[in-house]
Every structure is written in C-alpha cells, then in structure tokens.
Amino acid sequence: MSLSRRSVVLMAAAALLVGGCGGQTNTGNATGGSTSAGKVTVEWWNISTTEPLKSFWVQKVKEYQAAHPNVTIKNVPIENEAFKAKLATVTQSGKTPDIYSTWGGGVLKQQIDAGLVKDLSSDAATWIADFTPASLQAYQFDQKTYAIPSDIGMVGFWYNKALFTKAGITAPPATWTEFLDAVKKLKAAGVTPIALAGKEKWPGHYYWAYLAMRIAGLDALRQAAIDDDFTKPDFIAAGVRLKELVDLQPFQKGFLGAGYGTPDGQAATMGNGKAAMELMGQWAPTVEKDAGKGIGDKLGFFGFPAVDGGKGSAMDAFGGGGGYAVGVNAPPAAVDFLKFISSKEIHRQAVETGAVLPVLKGEEEAVKDPNLSVVAKALAGASGFQLYLDQAYPPAVGQEVNDSVAALMAGSKTPEQVAQAITQTAKSE
C-alpha cells in the first residue's frame, strides 16, 4: 500500500557481501543473499500482504525462479507497521534484506548518507528512462537513483455516495468550511462522518499535513525542512483548523484504539458502510474490500478541500508511492530480479490488478478501475506534489509529526504545542 502507500514510515538498510559472480564466493547478507555452489538466495521484504498483490507476487517469483534455476527468491511479505519495526531492528544490528520496500524521501536519504543503499544509477541505466519523472522523484538524490518505484499515488477523501445522499450532501465539499458543514450534516443524519485508525497515528498526520499545505503552501513545508521551524503562524493555523474538525467528534467510536487494516479498523469501518469518509491513499478501495466487504459503486473520491485565504493551491497533491531499494552489497541477482518485476510487461500486469498506479510511461490506459482512474487524473493535473511528511523529513521528525498530531486528535496537545514539539525535534536532529 503505501500502503499503502505507505505509509509512513521508517527504515534503514545495511549489508554484508564478499565477492559476487563469475566464480567468486559471496557470503551474503545476514538476512539473505547467500550463495552456495553457484546458487544464490535473494531475500525480498515487501509489504504486499493483501490481495491481489500478495498472490500476484507469489506467481511472479515462481516465474522468475523457473527461468533462473540457480536463484531462490525468498519472498517475505510483512504488514506495513510490522515491516517498519522489523526492518529498524534488523538494520540496527547491521543486517539487511537484499531488496526491501522503501517510500523514499528523507528516510532513504539518511540510509544513503550512511552508505547502506546501493546506487542503482549504473545498473539500472537502461531501464530507469522508462519511469515517469514524478515516480522517480522520491528516490533520486544528487542526480543518482537509489530505488526503483513500483507504485505512485495520492491521498484524498474516499466517500460513500449513498451516505452523502442520506445526509443531503449533493456534491463533495470544495472548501474546508463546506467540509465541516458536511460533517455536521452527516452527524445530524445519524451517520459516522469519518473512519480513522487513531492507534497507528500515520493516517491522522494526513489531515495536519494537508491543512499545512493548503494554508502555508508547499514552499513553506520545504523551507521548514531547512530552518527546522514549524512554529510559524501558518503551521499553528493548520492545527487550529484540525482542532475545529476534532471538536465536532467526527470519528467512529473507539477510533483512538483502532488499527488501519484490522477487522474493526479504519478500512473495515469504511468498507462495511459504517462511516461516510476516510482520508487515505489510492490503495484504499483494495484494503476496504480486504478488511471489510467493500461498497462497490457507492465509493467515490474527492481531493482535500481548499482553505479560504490559504497560500497553497487546491490542486497540490499529497502522497507518495512505493519502491524497492537494494542493500549496498546485495548479490547481482537482486538487481536482476528487481529489473524483472519492474519491466513494462510485469508492471502493466500489476497495474491491471487494480492495486497500483502506473510508474512507467505510457501505461495509464491499464488503469481500469474508475476510482483509481480518478486518482490518476488528479495526479496528472496536480500543480505541485508533497511527499508524506513522515517520509519527506528525517525519521525522528516524521515520527514527532505523527505523535503530536495524534495527541492533538486525542485532546492532549494544543495546536501550539504540536508546532513546538515538531520544531524541537527538528532542531535536535
């Protein structure tokens, strides 16, 4: 996903390797990449734990291994939050999988600066050109490419058209004032306005981030990464506007303890028709159906509303995607497998499952799902793009954004305290 998409999102990588191919001996990474008598094992950590991608990748691994009998791909799908925790633990001890999921941005940059990630600029030179510039953006630093994108998308509001109609809402809200009015109408109609996974925190940071984008603008968010100052009035205003929403009590009962993809979590609440909206990435329909029943053609999508008087454009998108990095000393077979799953043929097949959006040029027509098509068009028309804050900024800063925004939603921090806490963490990095 990002999920996902995301998500969201801390990781690092390290590797151990001696030799490579052509008769050399490779001792491999501590968690994979081992070779013996000409055979090699490539360990691949990914977050494709839900259908259709889970089964899709199992099949592609079989196809690759059939064509490369000396290579074993150890496919290790791990749920998003567990993945982050497990990877952090492993890398802290100096170990790494050969290929692993990454969301790019500031987190990947830290790994690069530590010398833990393989520079793919040369190995992938002949196929990097096939990717759209937007999809590569999060993985390129100093004109070098350190990961290969597999998905791209944006966060927006997924909504239940039937519940909107029940509440007398005739069109998706275009402004924050209209959005708050819609929340009030839904509550008056006996409908839970918004599903939220408060326990996992990262879904909540989407609200503050989008409000900061709409009020302060993209340049202000980029400047904050330079001067480490989130106490400026526009950032505080983002918290004030979010508190306006929180004060309406729009979320489902028990949201503070709710997970994202669990049977009683955010996606299931939305997918079972028990809430009218969720603010989530392009993977939402798939997870809603996997965790709940899905609501079929009742599901719609609209972009995050504009904020009156804000400096940001309502056409600016917030999101990211998913990609794969390679441990700095992973065996050559790791890059070859990554090239295989990144090929136009395989990527088109992945897009046709409806679980990912195109990152390769000329594959837009492969998006058949009408909801995902709307997201793809919104991305195509975006005036600007902001990577998830818990990826764009260093890990500690991203985590503080998640934690402080969650505290605001729980009523234990004020908008000013949120801004101060993020600033304090940023300046300490």
- Rounded CA-CA distance 148/191 in Å is 42
Domains along the sequence of the chain with CATH: 35-154+320-382 (3.40.190.10), 156-317+388-428 (3.40.190.10)
The model's pTM is 0.73
What are φ and ψ of residue 140, in 5° steps? Answer: -115, 130
Contact status, residue 10 vs residue 103, Cβ threshold 8 Å: no
Asked if residue 18 has pLDDT above 50, the reply is no
- Rounded CA-CA distance 212/70 in Å is 51
Contact status, residue 109 vs residue 100, Cβ threshold 8 Å: no
pLDDT at 24: 25
pLDDT digits (tens, 9 = 90+) for 184-239: 999 999 999 999 999 999 999 999 999 999 999 999 998 998 899 999 999 999 99
Contacts of 41 (CB under 8 A, 6+ apart): 28, 32, 33, 34, 35, 71, 72, 73, 74
pLDDT at 19: 24
Task: Tell me the Ramachandran region of residue 97: left when phi exceeds 0, alpha when psi lies from -120 to 50, beta otherwise.
Answer: beta
pLDDT at 371: 83
pLDDT digits (tens, 9 = 90+) for 236-273: 999 999 999 999 999 999 999 999 999 999 999 999 99
pLDDT at 84: 87
